[in-house]
């Protein structure tokens, strides 16, 4: 659940490059996937492009920056021009510009607001991930993002719901991340301090996931109808169940 840019920017040994074909997804332009539409991708690591085991770079926040930009009030747009120029001069990876928009636009909605954004604004990415799992050649699969609780958490919640698990079971499963003591200082450093976000972004509470399910149910009727809306048909949902647990 990371973009190609994010993956390349990450430090450390990228051992996956030695064993997997790294692939970048090609999303439909300005629309959701159609039911049963296949996911297209292209290799971004020529040395391993013939490898049958793939590591998909699935940019869950594809186009999200533009959405956040449009939500900001006009005076933030003007101020951001100067921040952008400063970041370019300092060559700091647009750190201050990102922090400006996260604190002024993302932070007020808390972690639940960001999860709602994933559900609403990142539909092609979610559909692509689910469609890939309907291919038996792609399972078993390892899903990951950066910290493993937000992008991965929302996707796994949709998968578990598709498998017939109730929202209370899923919420408890999601909340297990909140018990990982080693994760908390990392979240504090990389999210709360770096981007000056509120404490909810470092948590994984049951009520957060339950509130997200309530949002989906009110807006779409059920998780199943939501998945159909984003292009993941009932037949594909059935195939996902067969692939993951032989149902």
pLDDT band of residue 50 (cuts 50, 70, 90) is low
The pair of structure tokens assigned to 14 is 């990228």
List Cβ neighbours of 143 (8 Å cut-off, separation of 6 or more). Answer: 1, 129, 152, 155, 156
CATH of the domain at 115: 3.90.190
pLDDT for the residue 11: 79
Give pLDDT tens digits for 140-167: 999 988 888 999 999 999 999 999 999 9
Alpha-carbon gap, residue 204 to 187, rounded angstroms: 11
Helix (H) or strand (E) segment spanning residue 21:
strand 21-26
Question: CB neighbours of 226 closer than 8 A, spacing ≥ 6?
Answer: 119, 216, 219, 220
The single residue listed with the structure tokens 């292009």 is 231
Q: The domain containing residue 151 runs over which residues?
A: 4-245
User: How far out from the chain centre does Cα 65 lie?
Assistant: 13
Residue 51: predicted pLDDT: 61
For 60-102, what is each residue's pLDDT tens digit? 888 888 899 999 999 999 999 999 999 999 998 888 999 999 9
- % of residues, the chain, pLDDT over 90: 67
pLDDT for the residue numbered 49: 46
Give the per-residue pLDDT at 141.
92
* 231 and 34 Cβ atoms separated by less than 8 Å: yes
Q: Which two tokens stand for residue 165?
A: 């698990």
What pLDDT, on the 0 to 100 scale, is given for residue 47?
56
Beta bridge partners of 219: none
Q: Report the pLDDT value the prediction gives residue 128, as an integer from 0 to 100.
A: 97
| Structure tokens given for 227 | 């998945």
What pLDDT does 237 receive? 97
Half-sphere exposure of residue 97: CA atoms within 13 angstroms, side-chain side: 20
- Report which secondary-structure segment, H or E, holds 121: helix 110-121
Q: Is pLDDT larger for residue 13 or for residue 192?
A: 192
pLDDT at 35 over 90: yes
CB-count burial class (<10 Å; 0-12, 13-18, 19+) for 57: buried
CA distance 127 to 65: 19
Going by their DSSP bridges, the two strands 54-57 and 21-26 should be labelled as: parallel
Sign of CA dihedral 135, 22, 95, 146: positive
pLDDT of the residue at 43? 84
Write out the DSSP string of 169-205.
Answer: HHHHHHHGGGG-TTHHHHHIIIIIIHHT--GGGG---
What pLDDT digit, counting tens, does each position of 206-240 carry?
999 999 999 999 999 999 999 999 999 999 999 99
Query: Per the structure, how many domains does the chain have?
Result: 1
């Amino acid at each position: 659940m990371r973009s190609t840019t994010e993956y390349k920017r990450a430090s450390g040994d990228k051992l996956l490059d030695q064993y997997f074909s790294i692939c970048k997804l090609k999303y439909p332009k300005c629309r959701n996937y159609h039911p049963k539409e296949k996911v297209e991708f292209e290799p971004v690591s020529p040395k391993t492009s013939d490898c049958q085991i793939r590591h998909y770079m699935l940019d869950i926040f594809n186009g999200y920056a533009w959405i956040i930009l449009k939500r900001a009030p006009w005076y933030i747009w003007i101020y951001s021009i100067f921040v952008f120029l400063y970041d370019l001069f300092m060559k700091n990876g647009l750190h201050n510009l990102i922090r400006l928009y996260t604190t002024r636009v993302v932070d007020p909605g808390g972690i639940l607001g960001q999860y709602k954004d994933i559900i609403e604004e990142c539909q092609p990415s979610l559909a692509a991930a689910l469609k890939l799992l309907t291919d038996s050649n792609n399972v078993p699969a390892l899903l990951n993002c950066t910290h493993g609780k937000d992008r991965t958490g929302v996707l796994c919640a949709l998968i578990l719901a598709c498998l017939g698990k109730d929202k209370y079971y899923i919420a408890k499963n999601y909340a297990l991340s909140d018990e990982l003591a080693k994760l908390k200082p990392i979240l504090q450093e990389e999210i709360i301090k770096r981007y000056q976000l509120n404490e909810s972004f470092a948590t994984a509470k049951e009520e957060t996931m339950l509130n997200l399910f309530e949002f989906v149910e009110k807006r779409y009727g059920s998780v199943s109808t939501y998945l159909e809306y984003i292009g993941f048909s009932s037949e594909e949902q059935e195939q996902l169940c067969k692939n993951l647990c032989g149902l």
